[in-house]
A and B are shown apart, each in its own frame.
Chain A
Amino acid sequence: MVESIPRSAGRAEDTPDRSGSRLWPRRPRRRSRRGHRYTLVPLLLISSNLALFLLFFVWPAVIGVGYSFTSYTGVGSAPFVGLDNYQRLLNDDAFYAALIRSLIFTAAVVPLTFVAALSAAVLLVSPHSRGKPVARVVFFVPWLISPIIAGVIWRWIFGENFGLVNYVIMALGGEAVPWQSNANLSLAIVIIASAWGNTAINMLMFVPAIKNVPAAYYEAASLDGAGSWAKFRHITLPSIAPTSFIVILLSTLGAMKEYALFQAVNGGGPGTENNLLIQYIFTTGFRRAQVGYASAASFVLMLLLMVIAVVQLVINRRKDS
């Protein structure tokens, strides 16, 4: 404080003198000095991020595309094979199976996560519900738990011979359900586990969005005699549309690359039935060292994610207009 006073006072004395006598010659020089400073400073500020971005994002993406046209194995030379990898990929049943399984998983898990996160957020914001502090903490615990541990938890609950769920079903007179040996049921468990684990973070995005809806809208609707559901449907949902869009987009991208959860729930099984895209890429690239082929699969996944993102953006735009 003490230091700054004389300094600014000195400036104030200087200024009229400068602007009076040398307004024109001074200005361009000052601007150029500033311009220089404002190139160097931001460049310095982004330098670490820029370097990491180029090194660990752009560079691998570029050489990945390059490798996808070779039969590189990770060591030695990388013989150019043209579009061979892509042709092989088009005829690879295992790739299609992984792709379709990933799409099914995504189509199921995204709406489930969306509904769960939105309900949780609505209930946490609602003035009518009681016990919010406890609920807030409980909703957040699954987010803390890693996909591996979450997988272990759900595998434990849905164990075929020992699980809590089958125990309850049998106690109620039902028959034990083959949660692990049936591929679809096994996938269903991962879907539940994934929605369970991803609810909190999406809920966190919805809460401020819901709080931001102007209260006047609800008051006006109440005067018109609108019920809770009508208010939610016609006021809340349209108002939080931008947040919903982000939640859906990020959940979709997240679901398409799920791996750890599958690993822990069923190891991609039974057999290879629930090998999703990332596991397919991982297995071909690292276990079988077919780097070129795996890169082609990665590139197809990359295109797919871009298409998904663009389609969602377009739909979002169209809705806006």
Chain B
Amino acid sequence: MDNLLPKKVWATAALWFMVAMYGIPVLWFLLSSFKPAGELFSYPLTIFPKQPTISGFTEAWTSFDFSRYFGNTLIVAVSATLITIVTSATCGYALAKYTNWWLRAFTICILATTMLPGEVILSPLFLIVRDLGLYNSLAGVVAPSVITATGTFMFRQFFLSVPRDLLEAARIDGSGELSSFIRIMLPLSRPIIMTLAIMSFQWRWNDYIWPLVILNDPKEFTLQIGVASIVGAENVNWSVLLGASVLSMIPLVVIYLIFQKYVMNADLSAGLKE
């Protein structure tokens, strides 16, 4: 009993040390974004802005086509997420509930896509998407990015855990295979759908290299390309850059805060099942 207290102290101290390591950079960044341009570099540095201002945000919003970038990114993230969920759920279900040699082979193929990321086949992929007429279009950003081994396997593992009896009972009831999938299995997998939705939204919202390759017209730019163009400038305008960066983070943070429990619970409950 005596050594319980020190243990508590050590564990808590270590946890909060890590919280500081992960939180301080973001906090410093957020606080800096409220500083006027002159204060950003004036020594001594202060933690809190002396004259808080939102000029960085407004300047970023007006000097770049930010509303358009937001719209484009939103279109990409939402449509990619919807398609990802449909393809992953159907494919994961097939891989879990049916046995065919070619399904097993396809499982291995899907697994191979994790080993060989899309970046490796960047130039040939670009040529294919270009030849499909999707160069410089948001559809070209979405199409190659929707198959994901992670998503497919999340559904596969989930459907493997659904008792076979449930499916057999539906079959005996005369329910067609597809209708039992849509009416019974899909609603059951709601937690997986939510988790994959957040993950997919995050992937596509934060994508950089593929949109950069496929989009040429500034009208079609996504947020990440927009922000990167400010970073790449000869003289970085930090006030605008900080404002733009913070703005680009807001939608994801809001979505995460709303759906937080799904991200955390999905895996935690999977752990508790056994």
Enumerate chain A interface residues (CB-CB to B < 8 A): 4, 7-8, 11, 37-39, 41-42, 44-46, 48-50, 52-53, 55-57, 59-61, 63-64, 67, 74, 116, 119-120, 123-124, 126, 128-132, 134-149, 151-157, 161-162, 164, 167, 171, 196, 199, 204-205, 207-209, 211-212, 228, 250, 253-254, 257, 259-260, 263-264, 267, 278, 281-282, 285-286, 291, 294-295, 298, 301-302, 305-306, 309
Contacts and interface: CB of A to CB of B under 8 A. Distances in A.
A39 B100 contact: yes
Contacts of B268: 207-208, 211
A171 to B, nearest CB: 8
B54 interface: no
A307 to B, nearest CB: 11
Interface in B109-128: 109-110, 113-128
Contact of A53 (B15, B18, B110, B232): B110
Contact of A135 (B18, B118, B124, B238): B18
Contacts of B98: 38, 41-42, 45
Nearest to A56: B144
A123 B127 contact: no
Contact of B272 (A48, A211, A309): A211
A103 B11 CA distance: 34
Contacts of B22: 138-139, 141-142, 196, 199
Given A126-B11, A212-B271, 5 more contacts: A41-B178, A49-B90, A52-B144, A64-B121, A208-B271
Contacts of B45: 164, 167
Nearest to A119: B18
A95 B258 CA distance: 45
A278 B119 contact: yes
Given A45-B181, A128-B8, A285-B122, A120 B18 contact: yes
A259 B19 contact: no
Contact of B106 (A7, A50, A154, A207): A50
Contacts of A281: 119, 122-123
Nearest to A294: B123
B260 interface: yes
Nearest first, the 3 closest Cβ-Cβ pairs linking A and B are: A208-B271, A146-B206, A64-B124
Instruction: Name, among B8, B95, B208, B238, the residue most crowded by chain A CB atoms within 10 Å (CB to CB).
Output: B208
Bin the interface of chain B by size: 35 or more
B95 A7 contact: no
A141 B23 contact: yes
Contacts, number: 288
B122 A282 contact: yes
Main secondary structure of the interface of B (DSSP, over half): helix
B119 A257 contact: yes
B120 to A, nearest CB: 5
A154 B91 contact: no
Nearest to A298: B120
Given A60-B121, A63-B128, A286-B213, A46 B91 contact: yes
Interface string B19-40: 1011101101100100000001
A179 to B, nearest CB: 14
B94 A46 contact: yes
A8 B228 CA distance: 62
Nearest to B123: A285
Contact of B90 (A46, A136, A205): A46
Given A128-B8, A128-B12, A148-B227, A42 B100 contact: yes
Contact of A144 (B117, B146, B252): B252
Contacts of B260: 137, 140
Contacts of A64: 121, 123-124
9 contacts: A39-B100, A67-B124, A116-B18, A129-B14, A142-B25, A146-B206, A153-B245, A211-B268, A282-B209
B15 to A, nearest CB: 4
